[in-house]
Structure 1
Amino acid sequence: GVVLVGVGFYNLHSYINAEAAVDQKFVANLLIDNSEYENLTKEKIVELTKAEEVGEVLDVEIPDDSFLDSLKPGIYSAKINLQLPYNQKIQRIVAVNVRDTVSPVIESDETIKLTQGEDFPLDKVTVTDQAPKTLDSEALKVSGFDKEKVGEQKVQLTATDLSGNQTTKEVTVQVAAKPEKQTTASTEEATPAETQAETAEAIVEPITEEKSEEGSTEAESTAATEVPNSATSATNNASDQGKTQISEATPAPTTPAPVETSVLRFAGSTVPFIPSGGASAAPGSGAGTWMGSGSVTDGAPTHFIGHNPGDFSGVMGLSVGSAITVVDSSGNSRTYTVYEVIDVNDDGYNANNPSDDVFPRMLYAGGERISLQTCINDSVNRCVLAS
């Protein structure tokens, strides 16, 4: 009996230790850079999670497996069913984060010809991202171009996708001088008028030499008529001056200040943000929405990333109870209150407690929430959760 009890306790101990070994070796959070893989397979996910090292893989379930071939950036889930010793069957959920690290492609002619004064022809440049997906003109920046400078110019085209990946291409722009305006026609048109004026002078001169009583009367009548006209003109000028003074005294209507959108406000600073879905790094300036849209009315979480040192340095000073205000792209504003501050390693675990997986409650828990992340060092990040 003592032997049987001892064996029973030994089996129970081994049973518990087998599942604990899974949690120690199994990789539950996968970070996949789409520039490193052409596609993914279930076998590759099993390999990356080290599932075969902890037990026998019975099945791999992927609700939405379309990302396996496309490697479209986003966060996906997979379920791996395992069988451990003593016929113990367990299931582990894997978060697969596909990050966009593929730079966009710029297509254009190597040489572009323009006439002085013409704007750079954006319609002659095409920018495509992974998929391929055509990006709009806002993704393209033109530098080194002067439309008034005649001659050959080296112009840089820089394209940036939603994840912050950049591509630069140099093109040659040849600017030709404007053609000179033709003045011959206007000169020819003026010639008949000049001829008529000279003819009129020739006709008038003999008449002015002889004075008659009728001529004097007509001249006096003309002078009398011009006097009241001059007075009327002076009165009109005075009236116009009065109107001008009144107009100048009237205050100009004030234009309302534009509403600032797509910004974060915390710790006395205002930080703009842009879409950065699944990016491998934060934007060079401001912040990025690594997950979520930044909307304050969609009832879904948004995870913001930014640099420290940089625009996210203020995140290090936030604590439980601190206020963070978000103004989304539509101008809607919401203030969130910090309820947790935690340091997280690059694998998503609590830096002070390796068994605490922070990703589920920081990224996957639903509701109208936000989280802010910035670097402490190369492997540890400060994360702030607010609702």
Structure 2
Amino acid sequence: MATDRAADLVREPDEPERATFIELLFDVVFAFALTRVSQQLLESIDSGRRIEWLPFGETLVLSVAVWNVWTFTCWTTSRFNRLAGSLHVTISALILGSLLMAVGLPKAFEDRGLLFAGAYAASQIGRPLIIVLALGNHPRRENSLRMLCWAVASGVFWIVGAFLPGALRMLFWAVGIGIDYLGIRFGWPVPGLGRERNERWRLAGEHLAERYQQFYILALGESVLFTGLTYSDGDLTFGRTLAFLISLGSTLLLWHIYFFEAGRSLPDAMARAGRPSELGQSSNYTQYALVAGVLATAVANELAIDDPFGSPHLAFVAVTLGGPAIFLAARLRFEYEVFGRLNLSLVIGPLALCALIPVMLFPPALVATITAAGVLAAVSAVQLVRRRQGRTVEPAPPF
């Protein structure tokens, strides 16, 4: 029976690359989780709109945890047969765990710490555990066993941290996240098993690329929902309407800049990469930064819609210009991962946004929103001009 399960789980090279329906259902849960992350970031800016570094750090830790569960699951489905029954069981369990994480997230540093940490640890441990049990004595089980050992080590910090107060809790959870990423970086070394080497990874590169694209669309959808709800909950004044339209325009620009060439060519880049697993791991950090930029921009848009002509404060300006700056900086790295080149407009864009932060502390809040959208529009325009000039290139990942 174990042999049959292992044979069913091991992915064959000619299997379809498309995501399964249960993976898409898994993404729906993360739409809810993304909403909770955005709300957490919004609440980290107090009524005076000063930067509160502890709540901001808490939001960062929680967002990385949410991303970890999604991306580790994505790697698992890219390495094994997505139609296997054991993988469906794994994803079904993760849907429950992710939903519990989303429920616990808003008060994870208050009275729901154990709910969030327990759901996170259970998700990270349960995923490789089910795979190890399903593979039996199959050679492919070794890497899942390595990941299981590292997930247990990380889980200890998450569970212990849940019983500690504020700053200590964040410290323990940050260490848990650090363990997760050190495992990725060094191949989850375990005494007696060694470590997993990049060249031995077997990933469905096109599937992985498609999953990154789908998650990015999910983040944009959450941004549209966030903006629409904010606008509809108040008076439809001229200022709020203008802020809403600019916010929607920014979202469309974030979509265009991502998918122009690099986002659209990511599946081809995965297929052409000499070391697709290394490209997949590198893209993990890049895609997180891209999504973080989108979420920060969505929060800034909500603040602008709420009070378009109010006096801006540092936290508001930092988020309004910093969100697009993070996105463009990540998009620069994304360009390099796909094409092995750097785009000058993607270098100038984030530098200009950061330089403008002190200037935007004086005019009404809406001016900062318009400025951020203007920089995104300029980058998008450069991309369109390059296309009309026929300056397109084929994917050439440096991995």
Same fold (TM over 0.5): no
Compare CA radii of gyration and give the structure with the larger one.
1
Where is the strand percentage greater, Structure 1 or Structure 2? 1
